[in-house]
Structure 1
Amino acid sequence: MGSTASREDFEWVYTDQPHTERRKEILAKYPEIKKLMGPDSNFKWVVTLMVLSQLVACYLVKDLPWKWVFFWAFVFGSYVNHAMTLAIHDISHNVAFGNKKAIWNRYFGMFANLPIGIPVASSFKKYHVDHHRYLGGDGLDTDVPTSLECRLFNTPLRRFLWLFLQPIFYGLRPFCVSPKPITQMELINFVVQLTYDLLIYNFMGVKSVAYMLAGTLLTTGFNLVTGHFIAEHYMYAKGYDTVSYYGPLNWITFNVGYHMEHHDFPSIPGSKLPLVKKIAPEYYNNLPYHFSWGIVLWDFVFKQELGLFARVKRKYKTRDNL
């Protein structure tokens, strides 16, 4: 548990991200994929049902002993809240109401944010755009850990600890790597979330609020489904900075495992991403993929060649560095 990782730096590459070119090739060969783009008519109803289920759960735990509050936060609330973080991810790509109703998507993201207890939807949207546009971009993609994180958490025990602390680093990293001014939508998100939290506290009590927040910390820290945070962009196969997962947990995570396909076509809803692979199998069948997020987490902690430095990084030319 004390041996350090063998990597001492990121995997620097000097080529553009592969998704742009592959998208062009696939669309030229299979133009029917364009029909998959656009809103998912069922998505907003699924999200609404999950938000309401967490509201009911908050009511049901309000008088339980503390041990049962945290038990249900782990076995139920954490999985629903995890799905809500992924719903916010999909909503940031306008899959709820489409590009023509972008503002509806922004407010619906705040609605999906309610069970999480912490306002994240508007800030996530602001930085996630850069994650797609500048994948692995030095000083641009805030999904990539900082060098300080990589050097501090460079042993199996420390990497295991980092998995628990990941929500904190993920939330604070943008302010260090690529700070942006606070927007009006972020302020609205904050007011809406605070109002909801206060209403839950006023009508249901502190245990209901604790249930929400515990579920969020458990689902974004260390949990089986959180393996997707590592599986998506850590370099398990040399040179590949995006990898898909084709296991059963896609059923409860809005198909986030189809991540290669998602980065190729971010405007296609998660429910339709398996069709991309089905239509254009020759572009995906020979790529590396994961079949278990549990194994992903185990390897991330214990394999020396992995760890936080196992990320592809690039330099991009932007207006700020020309």
Structure 2
Amino acid sequence: MRSGEVHIAEHVLVRVPTDAGLTDTAEAPPRPFTYGETQQSIVAVIRQIFEPQLLGMAPTRREAVHAKLNRTVGNPTAKAAVDMALWDIVGQAAGLPVTELLGGYGEFMAVSHMLGFAPPAEMVEEAQHVRDTYGITTFKVKVGRRPYQLDVEVCRALREAFGDGVELYVDGNRGWTASESARALRAMDDLDLTLAEELCPADDVLGRRWLVERCPVPFVADESATRPGEVTRELLGGSATAISIKTARTGFSHSQRVLFESEGLGVEVVMGNQIDSQIGSLCSVAFGAAFEATSRRAGELSNYLDMSDDLLAEPLQIRDGTLRVREGAGLGIELDPEKLTRYRQDS
């Protein structure tokens, strides 16, 4: 992607045992070029700051927990993993799936697949494989390269290859200027794109507003809207007209706030992906399926397909372009102990 490459998934597995004998599980994916977190920093902040503050608290006291977490600036994925783990505990204790605790709207989501930088023929080949193998027909195309014609050619090749049989939208990861973004959008005007995400930096305040006013499709704030206050700023400031929700950075509790805020302001949302493993993808679909608004669009739930292995005892299965919520209490995460032993990096 325009903001950097990820070659290996050095994530942090967060597990919280309780005195009732339950153990909850979540995942924190470090993205130093997006949020500044590393694997080491996530482990350090959880062990040295969060754990001493939270030990002994009831998992149902989520507001009290977040009051303590929020005393520490930043560290979004570390906080999100702790939050989702607590929801898992509550679900297990109540004997209910987290999706039902959150909202209970549905049991599955349509899946969108992300296509990274490559020549047009290679990206078409990947999209064809994903469609034929998993039934996925929605594709998020990474753009933001210079010259922008490279990405225009890719999008055009995808549309020519699949016709009206697929949905295409683009994500620039802040790679272009506002004027480059406008030219690229004009060049792709006939390709029936459905969304444009973070084409230019939010810090380019006037240029971004100028671009959003001219954007023919919803302009999605992602990296620029990582918490409710930033969502308000981007939407009311005219710098976005849609919001990406990523449970990897806002957990379930703050993702709810972002969703309800977006609904109240009348803007669309899309479930994003932080290059999550199957654990993170399971969390994303658990949240996305819980609400009507997040179920309307295909969620970005397939990044784990690029990974050679995972920790789940029962791997996720995308069928007919959809991913189902796990049955059972909590999040339904069961780890393969042999794989955990093989891949863990601590002692």
Structures share fold, TM-score greater than 0.5 = no
The structure richer in strand per residue is 2
Q: RCO (CA 8 Å, sep 6+): is it higher in 1 or 2?
A: 1
Q: Tell me the TM-score normalised to structure 2 length.
A: 0.25
Q: Tell me the TM-score normalised to structure 1 length.
A: 0.26
